[in-house]
């Protein structure tokens, strides 16, 4: 089998989505599954939808085209503010887009007018993350102008948390967002269909006891794909953290030693202390993934990496060249590995499992089990 590769267990992704939907639906929250980290992989998107996601969210039109070409007809929302240069394609490929600039919305309006269906506009409001977003005091006036444009419909309001500025979605801030929604509805004289309250970082709030107010939807990618909460990195109870595994091949195994006179510097400037250790070199590097985001197997320690070599020390039995080592990934490592041209994606368990215990397997125990695909 080709190396390096990403092995994706669709059953575990389906289970993660289903578990989250089961917890959030009673709270009045829908799930829009974010596929940008997997480059719009259609099979992974289908597993998310089968698990209960009500639609998909993407940041890049290339990924949306991939989804459409694979036959997915569900609602797709572009969650990065559209570029003016791609307005026509946004309207053609996406039912809805997140926006924060009237010039862009006007371009979408012009492109949408000849079409039968109006393009949905979700206005992003700044709630402290300091990335995209309209200041709350300016939101009502902009919403009125959007309502007056032909070819588009004011579908809702969105906010972002814990991405750029690190603003955590605390209960008081989420309540303030609900208040902004109510005030905007009063100003515009409409009931907003969608209030996209944030991403996977919102899950502790969403699954807590605090009222969800006017929030109707969360954009979930990391939680479904990796089973963790982004801010803390902790596993979300009941979810699989090993749905996606990166496999790399060993190209050298043995002892390495440096002269004792002086520490050496690597090409990246990292200092290597003189020592004699048992090391593995794998055919994987910083050109392929975020090596700092790899979770080392038990008994293995990360030493360093160059553009196309990963060096580790292991207490386990040394595999020979041609052997493989398996890594779990964080979100950064996953995004880069999925986009790397030399890493193949292998899909597993494309059908729901017949063994119910598989869906609730403990991720720690799952590392030591073999499943029928």
- Beta bridge partner(s), residue 60: none
Domain ranges of the chain: 9-226, 244-351
Single pTM value for the model: 0.89
**How high is the pLDDT of residue 116?**
83
| pLDDT at res. 271 | 59
pLDDT of residue 270: 57
Q: Is 9-226 in CATH node 1.10.540.10? A: no
Query: In 3D, which of 77, 81, 59 has the Cα closest to residue 126?
Result: 81
What pLDDT, in 10s, does the model give residues 276-329?
567 899 999 999 999 999 999 999 999 999 999 999 998 888 789 999 999 999
- Cα atoms in the Cβ-side hemisphere of radius 13 Å centred on 77: 28
Q: Where are the alpha helices (DSSP H) in 227-330?
A: none
Q: Residue 293: what pLDDT?
A: 98
Q: What is the pLDDT of residue 168?
A: 86
Which of helix, strand or coil describes residue 231? coil
Instruction: Name the stretches of the chain with pLDDT < 50.
Output: 262, 274, 353-373
The pLDDT assigned to 317 comes to 84
Q: How far apart are CA 127 and CA 187, in angstroms?
A: 19
**Residues whose CB is less than 8 angstroms from the CB of residue 203 and which lie 6 or more positions away in sequence, other chains included:** 20, 218, 220, 223, 229, 236
Contacts of 243 (CB under 8 A, 6+ apart): 8, 9, 12, 13, 16, 225, 226, 227
User: 289: Cβ–Cβ under 8 A, 6 or more apart, which residues?
Assistant: 246, 329, 333, 336, 337, 340, 343
């Amino acid at each position: 089998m080709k190396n390096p590769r990403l092995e994706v267990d669709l059953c575990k992704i389906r289970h993660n989505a289903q578990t989250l939907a089961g917890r959030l639906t009673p709270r009045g929250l829908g799930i829009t599954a974010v596929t940008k980290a997997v480059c719009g992989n259609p099979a992974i998107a289908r597993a998310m939808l089968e698990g209960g996601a009500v639609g998909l969210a993407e940041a890049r039109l290339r990924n949306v085209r991939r989804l459409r070409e694979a036959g997915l007809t569900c609602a797709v929302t572009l969650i990065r503010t559209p570029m003016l240069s791609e307005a026509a394609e946004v309207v053609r490929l996406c039912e809805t887009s997140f926006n924060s600039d009237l010039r862009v919305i006007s371009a979408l309006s012009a492109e949408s007018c000849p079409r039968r269906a109006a393009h949905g506009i979700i206005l992003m409001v700044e709630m402290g993350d300091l990335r995209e977003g309209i200041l709350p005091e300016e939101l009502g006036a902009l919403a009125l102008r959007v309502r007056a444009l032909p070819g588009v419909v004011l579908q809702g309001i969105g906010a972002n948390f814990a991405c750029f500025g690190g603003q955590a979605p605390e209960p008081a801030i989420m309540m303030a967002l609900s208040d902004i929604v109510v005030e905007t509805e009063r100003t515009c004289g409409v009931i907003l269909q969608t209030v996209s309250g944030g991403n996977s970082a919102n899950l502790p709030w969403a699954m807590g006891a605090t009222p969800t107010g006017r929030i109707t939807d969360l954009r979930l990618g990391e939680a479904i794909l990796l089973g963790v909460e982004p801010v803390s990195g902790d596993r979300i109870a009941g979810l699989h953290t090993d749905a996606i595994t990166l496999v790399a091949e060993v190209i050298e195994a043995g002892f390495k030693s440096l002269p004792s006179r002086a520490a050496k510097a690597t090409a990246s400037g990292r200092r290597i202390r003189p020592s004699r250790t048992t090391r593995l070199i794998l055919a994987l590097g910083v050109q392929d993934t975020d090596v700092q985001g790899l979770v080392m197997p038990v008994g293995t320690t990360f030493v360093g990496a160059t553009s196309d070599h990963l060096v580790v020390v292991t207490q386990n039995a040394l595999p020979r060249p041609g052997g493989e080592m398996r890594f779990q990934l964080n979100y950064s490592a996953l995004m880069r590995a999925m986009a790397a041209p030399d890493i193949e994606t292998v899909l597993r368990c494309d059908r729901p499992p017949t063994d119910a215990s598989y869906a609730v397997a403990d991720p720690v125990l799952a590392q030591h089990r073999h499943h029928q695909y």
